[in-house]
Amino acid sequence: ATPTAVMVGTGVGATNGLLIKGGAVLEDAHKVDTVVFDKTGTITTGRATLGERIEFMDNSSDDNFLLQNLPSKVDKHNLCLWLAACAEMNSEHPLAQAIVNYAKTAIGFDFTCSKEGVKVSKCAVIPGNGVEALVQKEGWGSYWVRVGKRDFAKAKLGSTNNEELSTDVSRRGDREVEFLRKQGQVGVYVSIVSDNHINDTSKKRYVIGVLGILDSLETNAKSTIAALKNLGIEVWMCTGDHELTAKAVAEAVGIELENVCSDVSPEGKADLITRLQKRKRENETLNERQQGKVAVVGDGINDSVALARADVGIAIGAGTEVAVEAADIVLVRSNLHDVVVALHLSRVVFNRIK
């Protein structure tokens, strides 16, 4: 392709909602033979809503110290939701937005925070795992809250490997989360530990409830995947979410189960890309393999390492800033079908316009 053809191609991309960061991108894109999709926010809409909510404090007595001096609309029936929303307030993750939005309508969350001396600090997003924050209120106390995956919610502050927490509560969490997953919801754990006890290993972290989040499939996901397969492209899905949920989604959009990787860390996603880039298929000459570039499509902070590692990183425009920055192509309209448009365009530029 001539430089002019590449320039024209980039321009055509722009009018079709594709932000292509340089001519070299189109050259790599026309060699793509494998596309790896993220799940949450990419194959699913990311406009998630809160489904089931199981509050473990429901059966506690009101003289429990955790239930005293709470903000006015917060009680034992919504303590878990309130704390989860506090911790998720600063996260861009689709699950976070579902939790915060629900809390806003259910307990007037905004009011609670600004008017009643509630202080939320030390907010941290741990990509692929969840969020953590310190929630404080005079008279009530100071608690570290975690929302997210089982092992993360269970772990001691600052520790990467898991310290056990109160087993009966934890077992109830597992039971409830499995129940949520069977209904197709993403189950997350909400746990707390008092700020006074963070260095005291005898004090356990408590799971105070689990939240189920409903996320629907992106309308174009199934047809996009079918179209890519028609172009002779192998399609994979790689997610930080649990296997049960991942398989259900893959099946619904037509991705083979052997091409599904679940429970994958952000680094694990990048490792998968390297593995796919290096593999050599049966009966394939080295020359053919060098043609086989790998594209990644993702939306989250947790996808940014993989997006950078990929030969062609493609970010959903509505995704997080970090993902958009790490990508080579941005789908400005956030329409998944534009993945096909981008790859098709690159093939036109490099194979037909000479």
- Residues 24-63: x where in contact with ligand ADP by CB under 6 A, - otherwise, as a string: --------------xxxx----------------------
Per-residue mark of binding to ligand ADP, 133-172 (x: CB under 6 A): --------------xxx-----------------------
Q: Which does 149 bind (CB under 5 to 8 A by kind): ligand ADP, Mg ion, none?
A: ligand ADP
Which residue's CB is nearer to ligand ADP, number 9 or number 300? Answer: 300
- In whole angstroms, give the CA distance from residue 295 to residue 273: 8
Residues whose CB falls within 8 Å of the CB of residue 49, separated by 6 or more in sequence, listed in order: 98, 101, 102, 213, 214
For residue 274, what are its two tokens? 């390297």
Strand order in the sheet with 130-137: 49-55, 206-214, 186-194, 141-148, 130-137, 118-126
Q: Minimum distance between the CB of residue 241 and ligand ADP, rounded to whole angstroms?
A: 4
| Neighbouring-strand partners of residue 186 | 213
Assigned token pair, 349: 């530029």
Six-digit token string for 30:
């026309």
The verdict on 95 binding ligand ADP (CB under 6 A) reads yes
Query: Does 173 interact with ligand ADP (rule: CB under 6 A)?
Result: no
* Contact of 272 with 36, CB cutoff 8 Å: yes
Rounded to whole angstroms, how far apart are CA atoms 13 and 329? Answer: 10
Q: What are phi and psi of 242, to 5 degrees?
A: -65, 150
Q: Which of 13, 51, 128, 292 binds ligand ADP (CB under 6 A)?
A: 128
Per-residue contact flags (x/-) with Mg ion for residues 286 to 305, judged by CB under 5 A = -------------xx-----
Cβ at position 102, least distance to Mg ion in Å: 20
Min CB(319)–Mg ion separation in Å: 7
**Which residue's beta carbon is nearest to the bound ligand ADP?**
240
Phi, psi of 284 (to 5 degrees): -105, 135
- Residue 34 binds what, of Mg ion, ligand ADP, none (CB under 5 to 8 Å, by partner type)? none
Q: Which does 186 bind (CB under 5 to 8 A by kind): ligand ADP, Mg ion, none?
A: ligand ADP
240 binds Mg ion (CB under 5 A): no
Q: What is the dihedral of CA 280, 284, 288, 291, to 10 degrees?
A: -30
Asked if 38 is an active-site residue, the reply is: yes
Q: Amino acid letter at 232?
A: G
Query: Which of 18, 29, 34, 41 touches Mg ion (CB under 5 A)?
Result: 41
Judged by CB under 5 A, the chain residues 177 through 236 that form the site for Mg ion are none
- Segment near ligand ADP (CB under 6 A); pick from 58-66, 174-182, 234-242, 273-281: 234-242
Interaction between residue 186 and ligand ADP (CB under 6 A): yes
Query: Which ranges in the chain belong to alpha helices (H)?
Result: 3-15, 23-29, 79-88, 94-107, 109-115, 150-154, 167-182, 221-230, 243-253, 266-278, 286-291, 304-309, 321-326, 338-347
Site for Mg ion in 80-109 (CB under 5 A): none
DSSP structure string for 184-201:
TPEEEEEEEEEGGGTT-T
Residue among 70 and 186 whose Cβ is closer to Mg ion: 186
- By annotation, the residues acting in catalysis are 38
Chain positions contacting Mg ion, by CB under 5 A: 38, 40-41, 299-300
Chain positions contacting ligand ADP, by CB under 6 A: 38-41, 88, 91, 93, 95-96, 128-131, 147-149, 186, 188, 239-241, 300, 302
